A = this chain, B = another copy of it.
Amino acid sequence: MSKLLIVGTVAFDAIETPFGKTDKILGGAATYIGLSASNFNIQSGIVSVVGGDFPEEYLTMLNNKNVDTEGIEIVKEGKTFFWSGKYHNDMNSRDTLITELNVLEHFNPVVPQKFKNSEIVLLGNLHPLVQNAVLEQMETKPKLVVLDTMNFWMDIALPELIEVIKKVDVITINDEEARQLSGEYSLRVAARKIQEMGPKYVVIKKGEHGALLFNDDQVFFAPALPLEEVFDPTGAGDTFAGGFAGYLAKTKDISFENMKNAVVYGSNLASFCVEKFGTERMQTITKEEIYDRLEQFKELTQYEMSISN
């Protein structure tokens, strides 16, 4: 069974959208990634840190989904990372209201021994130095390292980010971040410039507008499923990354052709994530629902055209 090592935040979120608001609920990049990856028959484990205020039941929930939490350090006297944000009416942009780093501030990630030979490593959104510290602990070279990041780190830790970007095979970022990182408006040109920074594959996430996968001169695109209603976009990008990496870990095939499927799987899982607040929907997905939606993706994008004069 393939191993997927996940590093990222495990956190509390308080979210406000046009549809309502929540108190502190379970959130964090690694949480979404773990839940997303739990839909594949793989061995996944999270490296992260929480405070003494983090409910045991959340860890149990992850364990019940076969997500290993040995690598989640619990700092008893500390408080869990907390983020609060409010989405605008179009759901495409948001304001951060509160960021309390808490235990994240002095986080030294420790990779459990059993995950030091993971085939796939997903460096979720966190300080690039933490992402790098995880990579350095690997005892065997992973088959594939996937990095997810955001504009925040480009703003405050660009040199460190560029160092870790050099070492990864795949980077997943959103369209605005791809433009910021490359200084190019055209996503096609941006992707090429980012490839020159290191990653062989660049995935550009466009939210409701889908995702693009670039490799050399090849491009693949998967749309987001057009939904009746988007309830809460929080974690959709992490869920996408978790589905992408989870599918590759399960199928053990990192060819470009199979990465297309991984992008479709990532979009598929992200389409569930946004249907309810926080991780709620991700905790209840069934295999049947996933397969049903894979069919919908197929109908949405596949066509038969014979070209003739």
Contacts and interface: CB of A to CB of B under 8 A. Distances in A.
Contacts of A304: 257, 261
A189 interface: yes
A210 B186 contact: no
Nearest to A303: B260
A287 interface: yes
B221 A301 contact: yes
Interface in A173-188: 185-188
A186 B303 CA distance: 24
A186 B188 CA distance: 28
B287 A227 contact: no
Nearest to A265: B305
A218 interface: yes
Contact of A188 (B89, B209, B226): B226
Interface in A134-190: 185-189
A261 B188 contact: no
A287 to B, nearest CB: 7
Contact of A302 (B89, B223, B226, B302): B302
Give the size category of A's interface with B: 35 or more
A212 interface: yes
A300 interface: yes
A174 to B, nearest CB: 14
A23 interface: no
Contact of A226 (B212, B298, B300, B307): B212
Interface string A265-279: 000000000000000
A279 B294 CA distance: 40
A77 interface: no
A207 B300 CA distance: 18
A291 interface: yes
Interface in A277-309: 287, 291, 294, 298-305, 307, 309
Contacts of A303: 220, 257, 260-261, 264, 302
B309 A294 contact: no
B300 A219 contact: yes
Which A-B residue pairs are the 8 nearest by beta carbons?
A260-B303, A209-B209, A261-B305, A221-B223, A188-B226, A221-B300, A301-B301, A188-B228
16 contacts: A186-B230, A187-B226, A189-B229, A209-B210, A219-B226, A219-B299, A219-B300, A220-B300, A223-B223, A261-B303, A261-B304, A261-B305, A264-B305, A287-B309, A301-B301, A302-B303
